[in-house]
Structure 1
Amino acid sequence: MKTKLWITFAPVLFGLVFFSCQKETVTEVEAPATYEEGATIAISKEKLQDKIKGGWAGQVIGCTYGGPTEFRFNGTMIGDHVPIPWDENQMLWWYENSPGLYDDVYMDLTFVDIFEKHGLDAADSLHAFAFANAEYQLWHANQAARYNILNGMMPPASGYWKNNPHSDDIDFQIEADFAGLMAPGMVNAAANVGDRIGHIMNYGDGVYGGIYVASMYALAFVHDDMEFVVEEALKTIPAESEFHQCIADIIRWHKQYPEDWKQTWFEAQKKWTKEKGCPDGVFKAFNIDAKINAAYIVIGLLYGDGDYGKTIDISTRCGYDSDCNPANAGGILGTMIGYSNIPDYWKQGIDKVENMNFKYTTMSLNKVYEVGMDHAIQMVKRNGGEETADGITIKYQKPVTKPLEIGFEGIYPTKRASIFKPLNQQNSIVEFATTGNGFVLTGEAVKDASLPDAVLELEVYVDNLLMEKVKMSTSFQSRKHEIFWNYDLKEGDHAVRLVALDIPSGYRVNVNEAIHYSSVDPGNKNY
């Protein structure tokens, strides 16, 4: 049996703290280095709301700041000499002129909206159908999962690596903020939500990225030591995974080079930037892998020293997905310090957009502040906490490690070969050879501008065996991200043939490149 003590503070000599069992109001508590499992933590509703606002606003500010640099610096940091603009009109400009920047936010809000409409026990299928049928454009693991769902493949199969070549990509990592913001101090509750939703579009390290981000958010509600939050949240991720190993390296390098984030960036660049899965990044400078981009989140959080501007600037200047990474970092720190403590310089202009709905949604920042508060209180109560007139009490959770999942196991990319041939009325067959145990074929369906969208069909044969009848839509919303892939061939030489099926005039399928895989690690490159 646990006795509940309400903690009050008195201005006494040497900062001594006196305890009272008489006062029945919630007051703020300073977070100790850690709590025991089930420890009761009291937070006022005012403070809880401030932290939820800080998380959502911090995410939007970080995303906006990094927006002009997104994927313009691949494999290189953004030098200190490169100016990144910030003024009171930045957020409004992006909202009005390039709302797609906030894909990580409106994807978050898709899941928030389903929880709001159907309750916290909403079936995973509702979340899956909501984002698969949404109007917004998607890429990478999200789009691959959307195609799977629209064609009858539901989660978790929709995110599994053999069904989704982008399953290790950043997608759920950038949209997992909601799972932590609805689970203050309850790291396992956050991780469990992330585990469910993340498998819609990702697997393995791709899911771990979202679970890790959500876990840091949850811990940031009740801890003010960022090093502790970064390390404690990592306990939710199995140590055998590459994701865990990558982030553990960042933590270690931060201790080794505490004043030099660029040295840590170089170490991460040397060890963790090999792309194995994403067909857009294999053997290219482009890298949207979850773990290296999560490393850039953590570099910002650790080297930012609790300074909001420094945190998002470092995460941005690490490069690659340099709007989503500072969005996560800014949201996590914003949760820790609260909206009221984000410097006015970084909040300038937010008043112009807080009442504006994010494109493709019926939800604004002001609305999600309100909805997020309600979801957090519901989650607190279902996890053993309580709501009082002016606050909540949380039953603290210590991290539980998720089961190990390894994607792209037993395969290694060996070659990226150009094909660049069309399938159309004039050219109905494309053939090429591959050696190994698998391949991915990139390409897209296109049409003349005056024609309506259509679904083009082709057959893929490997060694004269029909492998798949492929449907390629010219619509960006329902397109198939890659033409075909197979990771289960017998090691050896294979002949591949693509045959067009009645492609009308003005339409074609562009067959672009083949990424070849083998069961043998070429040159022991430590993939």
Structure 2
Amino acid sequence: MVGARASARRIPAPALRGGRGHPGGVVTIESAFFGHHEADPRALLYYEWCQRAESGYAVEDFAEEVRDLTHTDRTIPAACWRLLDRVEQAPRLPDWPYTEWVDAPWSVNPADIEQDSVPGLAELELLDRIHGGWIGRCVGCTLGKPLENGFIWTPARIREYLESNGVYPLRDYVPVDDPLPPEANGRRAWGTATLGRIDGCPRDDDVDYPILGLHLLEQHGAAFAPDDVAALWLERLPFLQTYTAERVAYRNLIDGFVPPDTAIFRNPYREWIGALIRADIHGYTHPGQPRRAAAAAARDASISHVGNGLWAAMWAGALIAAAFTAPGPAAALTVAQSVLPARSRLAVALSEVLDDHRGGLSWEQAVTAIHTRHAHYNWVHAVGNACLIAAGLLWGDADFTRTLALTVQGGWDTDSNGATAGSVVGILTGAAAVPAHWTAPFHDTVHSSVAGYDRTRISDLARRTLRLLV
């Protein structure tokens, strides 16, 4: 996941567009880039304005002031902070049709949680499914890693690049042009996550977090608290290997805040994808128990996310847990939908994808619709990316290779989306059914920046996960 971590640069004065009443109609300002988005007043102002506009607050009148203060080479801190205070005090729009976090903080405790029961899977089958989830996550992350930049790698650009190399649709890892495409310049992923260059699953935050989550559960058990998550971040996770909401939450921890304040104090990325990518371990450890998985994912997410960002983590945890017993991806997605507030922007958006699938749209039509509906969000926002994950799973129809190919070819946060879809389809198929060409380059090894976990065996992660259950 990249988020807003590119170097600062000057952005031309943007046009404003949009109107009230629907997330796709909010006024927007073209995206800006900041070198230290966790601390730069321009970044915090700009993205907080975006977050408020997306979630139904009356901030339209601040657009020109925000643009003037944030799309500059040099920051004016005092002016940014004053305007940020005003943006944060803006009232809600009275006709906003969606459920937001302020309306439903109770949603972190899904209904009927006590009714979840452990599935009657034999231990060897359970291990194969868990191992499949870990493998799928590693494969999907690696497959999407070279194409991870939603500003550049649109579905059309991805298809153009792959077709020029004769590999569309994807059936193996992304090949390397000689010379490299301009979009790849300076990106280490093209040397570690492309066909013929992979030696172990490359390090990525999409793999770091489930590893750290496994350590969390081994140390504190299923009753872990958000404070336990925070303490492990400080102990084992390097600050500069966190991004967007996680980096702001980390900054807040260092400044003395505690959860849940770490998630909301000057954290405009609180509805982005970061919590969703941390949810897998809670699905792995609650097989067939989607509501319990969702509740655990919510506790983990609460140190950095609220609203649709936290609900996306609950959805992902429930989806992965449901995959152990569901007959296929559509059934698992339907179960996962049940843990969300029905009128949240995330739930509405995912319902549209399910409707498109039932209505007979092609995958290409569905992806175009997702990009059109959610173009106003940042490319690492939880809502649009969850929709691309759902589309990859639905049109992939439990085929491991097709699911990952479609998910990654959908664009936006390709490595995160590929990783989550990989967890689900890996559980559905089991490790033994994953085609060998996907796993051979890993040599059963994953690289990680989590202290004490570099070059860990993927099979060991699966066995340790199983020990938490039996």
Q: Is the 8 A contact 1:199 1:207 kept in 2?
A: yes
Residue type at the aligned position of 1:291: V
Which residue is equivalent to 2:173? Answer: 86
Q: Is the 8 A contact 1:125 1:155 kept in 2?
A: yes
Alpha-carbon offset, residue 118 of structure 1:
2.7
Residue type at the aligned position of 2:440: Q
- With over 3 angstroms needed to count, the CA separation of the structure-2 counterparts of 1:87 and 1:38, relative to structure 1, is closer
Could you report, residue by residue, the CA deviation over 1:439-468 in whole angstroms, capped at 9, with x for unpaired residues? xxxxxxxxxxxxxxxxxxxxxxxxxxxxxx
Alpha-carbon offset, residue 37 of structure 1:
4.5
Which residue is equivalent to 1:392? Answer: none
Instruction: State whether structure 2 residue 208 is matched by structure 1 residue 121.
Output: no
- With over 3 angstroms needed to count, the CA separation of the structure-2 counterparts of 1:56 and 1:361, relative to structure 1, is farther
Which residue is equivalent to 1:140? Answer: 244
- With over 3 angstroms needed to count, the CA separation of the structure-2 counterparts of 1:66 and 1:356, relative to structure 1, is closer
* Counterpart mapping for 1:88-107 below 5 A: 93=197, 99-100=202-203, 102-107=204-209
CA distance in 2, matches of 1:120, 1:38: 15
Q: Which moved more, 1:43-52 or 1:130-139?
A: 130-139
Structure 1 runs, 4 residues or longer, greater than 3 Å off: 36-41, 72-77, 82-85, 87-96
Q: Which secondary structure state, in structure 1, belongs to the residue aligned with residue 270 of structure 2?
A: coil
- With over 3 angstroms needed to count, the CA separation of the structure-2 counterparts of 1:147 and 1:87, relative to structure 1, is closer
Alpha-carbon offset, residue 356 of structure 1:
4.9
Instruction: State whether structure 2 residue 260 is matched by structure 1 residue 156.
Output: yes
Q: Is the 8 A contact 1:132 1:147 kept in 2?
A: no
* Counterpart mapping for 1:30-41 below 5 A: 37=115, 41=119
Task: Report the structure, 1 or 2, having the larger strand content.
Answer: 1
Alpha-carbon offset, residue 124 of structure 1:
1.7
Alpha-carbon offset, residue 247 of structure 1:
0.6
Which residue is equivalent to 1:167? Answer: 270
Instruction: State whether structure 2 residue 423 is matched by structure 1 residue 331.
Output: yes
CA distance in 1, matches of 2:318, 2:371: 25
Q: Is the 8 A contact 1:257 1:264 kept in 2?
A: no
Q: Is the 8 A contact 2:135 2:426 kept in 1?
A: yes
Instruction: State whether structure 2 residue 332 is matched by structure 1 residue 219.
Output: no
Q: Is the 8 A contact 1:55 1:339 kept in 2?
A: yes
Q: Which secondary structure state, in structure 1, belongs to the residue aligned with residue 366 of structure 2?
A: helix
Q: Which moved more, 1:326-335 or 1:363-372?
A: 363-372
Q: Is the 8 A contact 1:184 1:376 kept in 2?
A: no
Structure 1 stretches lacking a partner, 5+ long:
1-35, 276-280, 282-286, 378-527
Structure 2 stretches lacking a partner, 5+ long:
1-113, 176-191
Q: Is the 8 A contact 2:145 2:193 kept in 1?
A: no
**Which of 353, 365, 368 is 1:263 aligned to?**
365
Q: Which secondary structure state, in structure 1, belongs to the residue aligned with residue 120 of structure 2?
A: strand
Q: Is the 8 A contact 2:389 2:407 kept in 1?
A: yes
CA distance in 2, matches of 1:264, 1:357: 34
- With over 3 angstroms needed to count, the CA separation of the structure-2 counterparts of 1:356 and 1:55, relative to structure 1, is closer
Residue type at the aligned position of 1:359: S
Alpha-carbon offset, residue 367 of structure 1:
2.5
- With over 3 angstroms needed to count, the CA separation of the structure-2 counterparts of 1:256 and 1:46, relative to structure 1, is same
CA distance in 1, matches of 2:118, 2:207: 31
Q: Which secondary structure state, in structure 2, belongs to the residue aligned with residue 152 of structure 1?
A: coil
Q: Is the 8 A contact 1:159 1:200 kept in 2?
A: yes
Q: Which secondary structure state, in structure 1, belongs to the residue aligned with residue 414 of structure 2?
A: coil
Which residue is equivalent to 1:342? Answer: 434
Which residue is equivalent to 2:60? Answer: none
Instruction: State whether structure 2 residue 394 is matched by structure 1 residue 316.
Output: no
Instruction: State whether structure 2 residue 96 is matched by structure 1 residue 43.
Output: no
Q: Which moved more, 1:127-136 or 1:84-93?
A: 84-93
Task: Report the structure, 1 or 2, having the larger helix content.
Answer: 2
Which residue is equivalent to 2:18? Answer: none
Identity among equivalent positions (%) equals 24
* Counterpart mapping for 1:160-309 below 5 A: 160=264, 163-258=266-361, 260-275=362-377, 281=378, 287-309=379-401
Alpha-carbon offset, residue 104 of structure 1:
1.2
Residue type at the aligned position of 1:64: T
CA distance in 2, matches of 1:315, 1:120: 31
Which residue is equivalent to 1:374? Answer: 467
Q: Which secondary structure state, in structure 2, belongs to the residue aligned with residue 349 of structure 1?
A: helix
CA distance in 1, matches of 2:381, 2:116: 35
